[in-house]
Copies of this chain bind each other. A is one copy, B any other.
Amino acid sequence: MMRRVVIVGTGLIGTSIGLALRRAEFAGKITGIDQSAEEGAAAMRVGAVDYAVVSEYEAVAACVEADVIVLAVPVLGILDWMRRLAPVLGPGQLVTDAGSTKRTIAEFAGPLFGGAGQARFLPGHPMAGKESGGAARAEGTLFHGAMWLFTPTQEQGELERVWRGWVERFGARAMDLDPARHDRICASVSHLPQMVSTAMSAMFADLFAEAPELAGDFEAIGGRAFREMTRLGASPYSMWRDVAFTNTEPLAGALLALEQRLAHLRENLKTPELREEFRKANAFRSRG
């Protein structure tokens, strides 16, 4: 049922999906589409795709012939491709995606997919990544042990089951969530850590600028926690702009909650309230 796959966006995630398919012994044809000829060539070089396509015409032609199309670009790009592909696809074809937010995508899919004469759409979100993207950093084992969230709002058919089967052969654990709930949870456990890391990196940039003679040593002084807290400072704006744009309210809520928590600590550096926060954090880390 799945013989021809098209991966739209051969960056870190798209190329890793191609490599994971090959690792899981997918024997069909994989075509990669990327607006950057270099990224497409890199994905082909590492064996993630058989063909790399740049031109709009060839891209749409490849999708028209595909059984499964995986959209692995930033969220607003996914919406673009959904709008562009829906009119040229039909029954027996499945579109799925790897976007970081799901409510907007699931709503958008409603009128475009799943109806009579339309292709199907399965919103997906592999919880894997790195602070820096690109085909060159892709790995066929990237999803091993990771969660792969799905937020279906339409009845599931055979192609959805086939794709879920491949996801499990990637070594990922599939889980279904309501799209709005997905976005609220991810706002806290995934999008908030990114914003904290961006804010701390930007804050340290200012601090280092004030003490240039020590700048080279601050990281050594801070040690492991400093590196961990700022690692995601390298993440690309292009991806996170779309996350912030399509998950604004839940993310703003998570940020405000953390701001209030930090202010509470700040106002209680010398009171027993500090112990309460440490007690709660200790219990959280040692749970289960």
Q: How far is the CB of A22 from chain B (nearest CB, A)?
A: 23
Q: A203: which of B197, B241, B248, B261 is its contact (CB, 8 Å)?
A: B261
User: A265 and B255 in contact (CB under 8 A), knowing A189-B226, A204-B284?
Assistant: yes
Interface size class of chain A, counting residues whose CB lies under 8 Å from the partner chain? 35 or more
Q: How far is the CB of A241 from chain B (nearest CB, A)?
A: 6
Q: Does A37 contact B (CB under 8 A)?
A: no
Bound complex: CA A279 to CA B240 (Å): 12
Which A191-224 residues have a C-beta within 8 angstroms of B? Answer: 192-205, 207-208, 211, 214-223
Known A185-B214, A185-B221, A202-B280; 11 more pairs at CB < 8 Å: A127-B220, A194-B225, A196-B229, A199-B264, A201-B284, A208-B287, A215-B287, A244-B270, A251-B266, A252-B269, A259-B259
Could you list 25 A-B pairs, sorted by A, with CB under 8 Å?
A189-B218, A189-B222, A190-B223, A190-B226, A193-B226, A193-B228, A196-B200, A198-B277, A199-B262, A204-B284, A205-B280, A228-B228, A231-B285, A233-B285, A234-B281, A235-B278, A237-B274, A237-B275, A240-B278, A241-B274, A241-B275, A251-B266, A255-B266, A258-B262, A259-B263
Chain B residues closer than 8 Å to A257, beta-carbon distance: 203
Q: How far is the CB of A115 from chain B (nearest CB, A)?
A: 31
Bound complex: CA A215 to CA B175 (Å): 14
Q: Which residue of B lies closest to A237 (CB)?
A: B278
Q: Does A141 contact B (CB under 8 A)?
A: no
Q: Does A283 contact B (CB under 8 A)?
A: yes
User: A262 and B255 in contact (CB under 8 A), knowing A226-B189, A285-B233?
Assistant: yes
Task: Establish whether residues B197 and A281, one from each chain, have CB atoms under 8 Å apart when the complex forms.
Answer: yes
User: Could you tell me which A residues sit within 8 Å of B by CB distance?
Assistant: 127-129, 131, 146-147, 149, 173, 175, 185-186, 188-190, 192-205, 207-208, 211, 214-223, 225-226, 228-237, 240-241, 244-245, 248, 251-252, 255-259, 261-266, 269-270, 274-275, 277-288
Q: How far is the CB of A200 from chain B (nearest CB, A)?
A: 7
Chain B residues closer than 8 Å to A199, beta-carbon distance: 258, 261-262, 264-265, 277, 281
